Amino acid sequence: MASKEVVFITGANQGIGFETVKALFSSGKAYHVFLGSRSLSNADDAIAELKKLAPDTKSTVEPVQIDVTDDESINAAAQLVESKVGKVDVLINNAGSYPHTLWPCNSDEASNTITGAAFDTEFTADSSNFRDVFNKAWDVNVSGTQVATTVFAPLLLRSSSPRLIFLTSGLSTLTGASKSFMPPWAPKPSSGWPKTGLIGHQGYKAAKAGLNMLMLTWHWILHDDGVKTWCISPGFLATNLGGRGAEVLRAAGAGEPSKGGELIRKVVEGERDADVGKVVTQDGVQPW
């Protein structure tokens, strides 16, 4: 294990996190991956699937229970990693990385496919509950990520080539939102009050925009320590966190989730070092 790069990934038992582990296991490099999951049984299931998919990999993996909304869980995970390997070369803050409301969809589809850290449904349903919707979105995407990064930072600084990655979203760009807030096919919000129409992901968008600022603060905090820091915006991908969500997303034009894992692998392996301190996309850099 001493010759392997140590990678810790939160929320890695499914979705983009699991695709990242798959991409690392397919690499010519050798990694030891700590696969973070809120449930150890889910982590074990993911590892069993991983071993079927990549039986000849040079890399190794072990499960770690971590819930980024629980400080005790975060501290215990860091203590476990420290006791086993004493450092982290790459910290990937992936938990809560992707919204899974499927647009266009009807309200039944939406209620069945929202998972992860997007707690929004639609404006008329959320307006009486905005405090809870926003607090949950920020707790996972920003507050939990801040705590996890702070706790793991000492382990990251023990690496000879430390990398810090935050998973953001295309919905986080202020520049993009200033030009067009809704998809072109979506019905515009009605005039007057109450508002009707498709006004979704307000809490999620705000939280991911906040995460971009969080990345920038860590970029400068750890810059003189030699830590390379990014946000990664993997794009509109057909993950299956919502059960039947992947096929509906593909029908809406989503790409394969493996593309997200491969993009993260490229950042881990130095192919996007020219874009340190920025929001990296499949094709370039996402506007702020």
Angle at which helices 202-221 and 130-138 cross, to 10°:
30
Tell me which of 208, 228, 259, 278 is the catalytic residue: 208
Between CA 220 and CA 140 the distance in angstroms is 22
| Residue 227: exposure state from Cβ atoms within 10 A (0-12, 13-18, ≥19) | buried
Between CA 156 and CA 160 the distance in angstroms is 9
Tell me which of 172, 204, 259, 278 is the catalytic residue: 204
Does 208 qualify as catalytic in the annotation?
yes
Tell me which of 169, 172, 233, 259 is the catalytic residue: 169
Between CA 157 and CA 90 the distance in angstroms is 10
Does 169 qualify as catalytic in the annotation?
yes
The 10 Å Cβ neighbour count of residue 201 is 22
Cα–Cα nearest to 230, from 162, 171, 173: 162
Q: Which long-range contacts (CB under 8 A, 24 or more apart) does 212-215 make?
A: 212/166, 212/168, 212/172, 212/279, 212/288, 214/142, 214/145, 214/146, 214/166, 215/166, 215/168, 215/277, 215/279
Task: Please compute Rg for the chain using Cα positions.
Answer: 19
Between CA 34 and CA 215 the distance in angstroms is 22
SS3 assignment, position 146: helix
Catalytic center residues: 169, 204, 208
